[in-house]
Amino acid sequence: MRVVEDRVLTQDVFEELARSAIRAEEALRLEFVNGKLGVKAVPDGDHGRIVAWLTQICMQSDPSRWLFGEQGLRIESYRKGNARPDASLAPIDAFVGQGEWASPDDVLMVVEVTSYDEDTDRRDRVEKPRAYAETGIPVYLLIDRDTCEVKVHSGPDGVRYEQVVTVPYGKIVTLPDPVGIELDTEPLKSWVR
């Protein structure tokens, strides 16, 4: 009888696997969150419009910051992971020279817009808030197209976000410091199924 040791996927092995997956299939985007390999859904047109809308708001608020779409981040202090948020708000030069998987140190906010797939609940509502909080990212904005709500997570304590504010589409919600933006969510009503 042969005993096989459990092998843990390292960050370096994951990053090479992710590069190979994109070369093989352009629409295939991998993530490695909470020790689990996952596939990120390809965004639809409404998803892209939501990110464009939010980019415009962030740019008008402070032109020295940018909402970077799909920038890979090295996340989680304990398990070493890789996530590709739909968008990351950071100073405009934050990711210069860092390549596909960047440090989250300068990230002020990460944004996820739910996709209409079976992994959304586990990935966007459970695993990613925990991973982003463990990493210390100050604000996690979840634009939930299934529930037509916006959830603003803030105050990471290294394990979870201490504050979560949920508002239905159509209300104004404050993205707390260091973001410091009041967000009128009325337009989101136009970009859901």
Q: What is the 3-state secondary structure (H, E, C) of the chain?
A: CCCCCCCCCCHHHHHHHHHHHHHHCCCCEEEEECCEEEEECCCCHHHHHHHHHHHHHHHHHCCCEEEEECCEEEECCCCCEEECCCEEEEECCCCCCCCCEECCCCCCEEEEECCCCCCHHHHHHHHHHHHHHHHCCCEEEEEECCCCEEEEEEEECCCCEEEEEEEECCCEEEECCCCCEEEECHHHHHHCC
Query: What domains can be seen in the chain, in order of their start residue?
Result: 43-190 (3.90.1570.10)
Least confident of 16-20, 59-63, 114-118, 153-157: 16-20
Task: Identify which has the larger pLDDT, 101 or 93.
Answer: 93
Task: Identify which has the larger pLDDT, 37 or 152.
Answer: 152
* Rounded CA separation 187/24 (Å): 37
- Mean pLDDT, rounded, of the chain: 82
Pair 109, 137: CB distance under 8 Å: yes
Given this model, what pLDDT does residue 165 score? 98
Task: Identify which has the larger pLDDT, 58 or 8.
Answer: 58
* Rounded CA separation 87/52 (Å): 10
pTM of the shown model:
0.77
